[in-house]
């Protein structure tokens, strides 16, 4: 990698020394920053079936701007804000919410459109827009954004702070060279990432089909089959049974959230639906609430208990294998303790099949939020082999899935590494640590 011959000190945090021929400018001196403000904020009720497209954060968060899955607004709403009528070369910056700092640039415009109130439109003069886009992606600007963000609940970036962002300005020739170089390099990285994500999808499908085939057919490929009477399963081994969940164990719905101290109450850690994932428990963010001492036994989780998500992505199932940590359940989680003669691991894999076939989504109670009630879950039908076969199936799947999950984890590590290399490359090029133009 080439470097510039001489550098100068900027005395700017996170920047340090820059090429001697580069300048530092504030955005307000080389362009404009505009956003949808005040009474012009749009409501979903105003969207129309066709008209002028209206970009929101999900539309700009990927490498390419999504102009297809958009909402539409009327001509009146579009023309009332001429400062944010989009043009080719506009840089879009998310200034509100959890995705604060996401950046994209309009390279082509399929129709007339605008943005919602969470996106700022940066329009630069005598400046190469794609170079500006990459500069806003740099670690330097992203650190400034985190420093300047405000808001007690929802993070927010004020327009005046964006206007005062300090941008490095090489010659226009260098800006174009940097933009072209980074386009080539990042597109190559993005292609590799897409291929790796497809690979993950393949292994996830392999895991799903392996679990389904083993849970519904067993390990003996020569066994005689019979009709199960369950549409999504079809035939099962002749000697297997079909039982309701309540016939093979005891189901308990968790305790309503209680954050106030009372007499005879103790503060205890608990799990809620966001901690429950398919085949594993996430204990990274476990909160605490008060439980009545007389109810502790009812809501305490024991090793081997299954945990079902009652809300959110309903039916997600995992098993609690911790003998040391004390934990309880809140009312967005069901706890299931299998009766003697049943392997909880097999039941977990069976529940995974139910989820993969969208069975749980079809039986939930839903007004605005899905709920898999105690009554509905208790009567879900499970295929029950004899205990020795349940254990054989569980052991077999545990081994196979462990290998598949390790492959997926390795691929995910490769993706993370590529994305970090992409970020580092962008930062080093736009801050002049790497020279991409020949003298």
Q: pLDDT tens digits for the chain (439 residues)?
A: 789 999 999 988 888 899 999 999 999 999 999 998 765 677 888 899 999 999 999 999 988 999 999 999 999 999 999 999 999 999 999 998 888 999 999 999 999 999 998 999 999 887 899 999 999 999 999 999 998 887 667 788 989 999 999 999 999 999 999 999 999 999 999 999 999 999 999 999 999 999 999 999 999 999 999 999 888 888 999 999 999 999 999 999 998 888 777 889 999 999 999 999 999 999 988 999 999 999 999 999 999 999 999 988 999 999 999 888 899 999 999 999 999 999 999 999 999 999 999 999 888 876 668 899 999 999 999 999 999 999 999 999 999 999 999 999 999 999 999 999 999 999 999 999 999 987 6
**Chain position carrying tokens 């009477």:** 229
Domain annotation for the chain: domains and CATH numbers? 23-169 (3.90.220.20), 241-384 (3.90.220.20)
Q: How many CB atoms lie within 10 A of CB 140?
A: 22
- Sign of the Cα torsion 396, 400, 405, 410 reads positive
Q: Are 269 and 287 in contact (CB under 8 A)?
A: yes
* Model pLDDT, residue 136: 96
How is residue 44 written in tokens?
């979903």
* Model pLDDT, residue 130: 96
Q: Are 266 and 276 in contact (CB under 8 A)?
A: no
Q: What are phi and psi of 376, to 5 degrees?
A: -70, -45
Closest alpha carbon to 308 in 276, 339, 285: 276
16: left (phi over 0), alpha (psi -120 to 50) or beta: left
Q: Are 389 and 163 in contact (CB under 8 A)?
A: no
* Cβ partners under 8 Å of residue 157, min gap 6: 93, 95, 96, 100, 101, 120, 145, 148, 149, 150
**Burial per residue of 302-318, b for 16 or more beta-carbon CB atoms within 10 angstroms, e otherwise:** eeebbbbbbbbbbbbbb
* Model pLDDT, residue 285: 87
Q: Are 89 and 105 in contact (CB under 8 A)?
A: yes
**Burial per residue of 74-99, b for 16 or more beta-carbon CB atoms within 10 angstroms, e otherwise:** eeebbeebeebbbeebbbbbbbbeee
Q: Are 382 and 347 in contact (CB under 8 A)?
A: yes
* DSSP calls for 256-304: PP--S--TTEEEEEEE-GGGEETTEE--TT-EEEEEEGGGHHHHB--TT
Q: Are 236 and 225 in contact (CB under 8 A)?
A: yes
């Amino acid at each position: 990698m080439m470097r510039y011959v001489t550098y100068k000190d900027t005395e700017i945090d996170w920047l340090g020394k820059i090429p001697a021929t580069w300048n530092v400018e504030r955005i307000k001196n080389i362009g404009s920053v505009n956003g949808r403000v005040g009474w012009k904020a749009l409501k979903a009720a105003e969207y129309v079936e066709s008209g002028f497209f209206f970009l929101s954060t999900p539309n700009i968060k990927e490498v390419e701007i999504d102009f297809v899955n958009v909402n539409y607004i009327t001509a009146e709403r579009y023309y009332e804000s001429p400062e944010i009528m989009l043009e080719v070369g506009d840089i879009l910056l998310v200034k509100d919410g959890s995705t604060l700092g996401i950046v994209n640039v309009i390279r082509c415009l399929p129709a007339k459109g605008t943005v919602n109130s969470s996106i700022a439109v940066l329009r630069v003069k005598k400046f190469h827009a794609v170079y500006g886009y990459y500069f806003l992606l740099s670690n330097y600007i992203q650190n400034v954004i985190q420093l300047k963000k405000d808001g007690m609940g929802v993070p927010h970036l004020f327009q005046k702070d964006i206007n005062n962002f300090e941008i490095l300005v090489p010659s226009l020739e260098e800006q174009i060279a940097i933009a072209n170089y980074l386009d080539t390099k990042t597109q190559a990285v993005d292609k590799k990432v897409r291929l790796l994500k497809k690979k993950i999808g393949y292994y996830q499908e392999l895991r799903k089909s392996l679990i389904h085939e083993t849970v519904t057919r067993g390990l003996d490929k020569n066994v005689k089959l019979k009709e199960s009477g369950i549409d999504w399963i079809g035939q099962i081994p002749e000697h297997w049974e079909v039982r309701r969940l309540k016939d093979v164990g005891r189901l308990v719905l968790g305790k309503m959230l209680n954050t106030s101290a009372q007499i005879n109450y103790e503060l205890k850690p608990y799990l809620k639906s966001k901690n429950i994932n398919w085949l594993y428990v996430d204990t990274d963010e476990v909160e605490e609430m008060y439980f009545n001492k007389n109810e502790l036994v009812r809501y305490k989780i024991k090793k081997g208990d299954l945990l079902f998500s009652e809300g959110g992505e309903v039916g997600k199932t995992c098993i609690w294998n911790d003998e040391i940590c004390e934990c309880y359940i809140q009312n967005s989680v069901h706890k299931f303790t299998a009766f003697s003669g049943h392997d909880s691991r097999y039941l977990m894999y069976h529940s995974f099949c139910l989820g993969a076939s969208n069975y749980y989504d079809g039986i939930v109670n839903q007004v605005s939020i899905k709920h898999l009630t105690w009554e509905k879950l208790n009567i879900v039908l499970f295929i029950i082999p004899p205990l020795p076969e349940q254990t054989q199936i569980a052991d077999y799947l545990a081994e196979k899935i462990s290998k598949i999950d390790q492959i997926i984890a390795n691929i995910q590590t490769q993706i993370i590494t590529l994305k970090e290399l992409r970020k580092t490359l962008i930062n080093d090029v736009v801050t002049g640590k790497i020279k991409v133009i020949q003298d």
